[in-house]
Structure formats: C-alpha cells, structure tokens
Amino acid sequence: MDAHVKFLREVPTADLLAFTTRLSTRNWRELTDADFVLIEEFVKSDGCTGVPEFYHNGCVIHDFWYRTHRNLDGTPIEKKEADLGLKQYVMSKSPLGHFSIISWLWYRGTRVFAGSAWREV
C-alpha cells in the first residue's frame, strides 16, 4: 500500500475535516472545479484511465472515497456507496441522465473489478 494512501486511511477525522473546511462545501454534488483540484492534490488522484475530461471530477471524488474510506464530512463510506456516487456523478453529466449506459457500465465495473483497489489503495 502506498504510504500516502495509508496515511489518508489512518488520518484522524479532525485532520481530514481540517482539509475539507478549505472546500466550498462538503456536499460532493455541489463542489466547484477549484474544490476538485484541491481534492485531486490532497489524495494524489490518478483519475480514471481513458476517461473523457468531463467525467474527470467524478473520478477525483471516487478516489477520495477509496483512499480515505470517508465522506467529505468525515463519516465512513462503504465501497458500494463510493461506486454509486461515481455512477450518480456520470449520470449528472450525461445528456441521457439515469439512462446513461456509461454510468451503468462503470458502476458494474467498479463493483466487480475494483475490490482490490478498495482494500489496497
């Protein structure tokens, strides 16, 4: 496990909240582009491989959840919730909304293939 990621998993909630107070909100659905840049730097996000730029921020918040196992308010988050959040982000950016095939494929992919990333990252 990467030392920085291990640190993020073990960082006290008060320290994590000290970072998230720098954001404009703790509601991931209302984050600004500047907030996503801060999160990306904080968790050293690698985004999602081969993802169109307009979904990049969804990958950043997904990395935050995977690397900290917490929401922006410091509460614990489960893998299923993190994967569902990515799906909801993609749906919100897609002209097809709830019917976005990409969102459903990514959701299934993360549910099936990202178990080791959740445990190890």
Query: Which region among 7-16, 18-27, 34-43 has the lowest average model confidence (pLDDT)?
Result: 7-16
Higher pLDDT, 14 or 121: 14
Nearest-CA neighbor of 57 among 71, 38, 70, 77?
38
pLDDT at residue number 39: 97
Residue 1 scores a pLDDT above 70: no
pTM for the full predicted model = 0.86
Calpha distance 26→20 (Å, rounded): 7
Residue 98 scores a pLDDT above 70: yes
